[in-house]
Structure 1
Amino acid sequence: MSAGLLRQATYSTCRLGIYTSLFERFSGPNGETPGFLTKLGIAVSSGIIGSFVGTPSEVCLIRMTSDGRLPIGERRNYTNVFNALLRIFREEGLIALWRGAVPTMGRAAVVNGAQLASYSQAKQYIIGSVRYDEHNRLSLLHLPSSLADVIHQGFLSDGIVAHFSASMFSGFVTSVFSLPVDITKTRIQNMRIVDGKPEYRNMLDVFVRVVQNEGILALWKGFTPYFLRIGPHTVLTFIFLEQLSRGYRRIVLGDLNERRGGGL
């Protein structure tokens, strides 16, 4: 539990904080959102940085989770995540805390690029069909009157419904792009030693051999349960983030019209 909480406190806080800050930095002077490629770039960058910061806690999480499956004589018996961090540093050196950082950062680049950029883009399209004219009246762009009535009631305004819809789309996109990476990463972690040599050379070798031997669809084997795990996590992450950002703008910045900060 302590390792999982520390991982979220380091990795998630860092990646979301950096993305939000860079999103605001690259937004236009009148609140125009960055272009898609810019969103993708800052999402990948924030994922890589956040993953690097969170790698020590992930190393502890993996070790503490797998400790119970080891023979009694080989168990490390960490009491909590801070005990694990201190012992790894003392017994194995500082570098050991970042063991496996490169593949972890690679996965984070894919996941964050898909998750954050797709959410921002989907949200922009969902609430972008509504705008206010100079008389502060709702104007609808190229929509039939029946749909205009629905939008006028607020279903596509910048609120929880829009955030839920955008985050569900983001969860699907994230699952599509990250599952092949997770499959190759898992096979690397579970590979056997055959005739004194590892079964795979690297993640690219896994990817190529899976496609050759099992077909390209094997990269998305188990997609449904994977999406059922990623989808709700993505929805809750963005809904809470949006509400906390809105509260920050109103309470801390005193921006009752929400014209500054906290954008996604």
Structure 2
Amino acid sequence: MAAHGSWATGPDPTRAWRHVGLPIAVSGASVACATACTNPLDVLKVRLQVMDGATTPGIGGLGNGAQPRARPTGMADAFASLVRHEGPLALWKGLTPSLIRAVCYGGLRLGLYRPITVLRERGGGGSMSTKVVAGCASGAFAAALLNPTELVKTRLMADERARGRGEGPPGGGARVGPYQVMRAVINEKGVAGLWRGSAMSMTRSAVLTASQCATYDEVKRVVTRWTGLSDGVTVHFVASMLAGAVTTTATNPVDMIKTQLYMDAFRPGLAGAADAFVAVWRRDGPRGLMRGWGANYLRLGPQTVITFVALEKFRSMAGLDTL
């Protein structure tokens, strides 16, 4: 990434805003744009990762007397089942916490990546190691701070089972909202319950940000060097799509375990990440850790493209260096 100018050693609100606050703001805006476009794919990914519990008696069934449905065999089947049983608007479940999380979490993890990279380079860190460390640090910090929004979003996207748990009005006929889910979690596990699965969320976010930013950075550098193309939309698109593929593969197993922990109300036997891993492995073997990869990539691929293309544009509009 292009280097910034020297930072002031003393406190300077203007410089702090320019080097930290403004990058966080434009990063949050770019991630929000991508999230708004890809929310349906996020819903499908979550449904594929948790659908087994909604259809297998004794492993977190519906709990409200409803008859289990046949388990979808793939993303297309999950899409058809979701729309048929819950309507097209079900594809936008969890959008409110998703957008809140996108602005805050996305802004922090991408916005802090650049400042941490600069500080790391000043400390003598190597180029690639600097990008990985910066991505891990910014991603983990953002995930730890905003875990409640991810937990609420996940439970809303698996909304049918939330109704069975009483996180909405009796009978399951009314729409469940973020407030009802948050209240149910606090009533059951206390405020600390909002940070359930935070370790896995931090791990996923660290891997996500490190692989996404470092891959984008390196691919863009190689493409511009070997093709002679200018640093424009075409290069951003190619780098983003490849970064999305690497990121999806690296994060899917962690994302799968994290989703199981977020839905632990429907799997009372899961004491932690190790139990969740064993449960997935016993049920589906190693392939189970990659369940939802297609939906995840169809979400992360376009999301990465929209995020970085929008981010480059927003940074240019704000007078910041390109990534």
Q: TM-score, normalised by structure 2?
A: 0.56
Specify which of 290, 306, 319 is matched with residue 236 of structure 1. 306
Rg comparison, structure with higher value: 1
Judge conservation of contact 2:136–2:210 (CA < 8 Å) in 1. yes
Q: 1:104 Cα shift?
A: 1.2
In structure 1, C-alpha distance between the alignment counterparts of 2:192 and 2:175, rounded to whole Å: 19
Alignment pair present for 1:224 and 2:294: yes
One-letter amino acid matched to 1:246: S
One-letter amino acid matched to 2:202: M
Q: Deviations over 1:51-101 (max 9, x none)?
A: 1222122233234445554248552789865x5699579867543432332
Question: Paired residue for 1:160?
Answer: 233
1:191-210 mapped onto 2 (5 Å cutoff): 198=269, 202-204=272-274, 207=277
Alignment pair present for 1:60 and 2:157: no
Judge conservation of contact 2:240–2:308 (CA < 8 Å) in 1. yes
Specify which of 113, 127, 135 is matched with residue 224 of structure 2. 127
78 and 55 in structure 1: CA distance in 2 versus 1, 3 angstrom threshold:
farther
Judge conservation of contact 1:6–1:57 (CA < 8 Å) in 2. yes
Higher RCO (C-alpha under 8 Å, 6+ residues apart): 2
Question: Paired residue for 1:75?
Answer: 168
One-letter amino acid matched to 2:168: R
In structure 2, C-alpha distance between the alignment counterparts of 1:217 and 1:98, rounded to whole Å: 28
| Residue-pair matches, total | 220
Q: 1:166 Cα shift?
A: 0.6
Judge conservation of contact 2:155–2:181 (CA < 8 Å) in 1. no
Judge conservation of contact 2:186–2:193 (CA < 8 Å) in 1. no
Aligned-residue sequence identity (percent) comes to 30
Note the residue ranges of structure 1 that are not aligned, 5 or more in a row: 130-146, 250-260
89 and 184 in structure 1: CA distance in 2 versus 1, 3 angstrom threshold:
closer
In structure 1, C-alpha distance between the alignment counterparts of 2:252 and 2:136, rounded to whole Å: 17
Alignment pair present for 1:102 and 2:199: yes
Judge conservation of contact 2:260–2:276 (CA < 8 Å) in 1. yes
Specify which of 6, 12, 15 is matched with residue 109 of structure 2. 15
In structure 2, C-alpha distance between the alignment counterparts of 1:75 and 1:109, rounded to whole Å: 33
Q: Deviations over 1:219-250 (max 9, x none)?
A: 4345334322221111111110111111212x
1:139-178 mapped onto 2 (5 Å cutoff): 151=228, 156-178=229-251
Q: 1:36 Cα shift?
A: 0.7
In structure 2, C-alpha distance between the alignment counterparts of 1:220 and 1:86, rounded to whole Å: 28
Specify which of 230, 242, 254 is matched with residue 181 of structure 1. 254
Q: TM-score, normalised by structure 1?
A: 0.67
In structure 2, C-alpha distance between the alignment counterparts of 1:59 and 1:23, rounded to whole Å: 29
84 and 164 in structure 1: CA distance in 2 versus 1, 3 angstrom threshold:
same
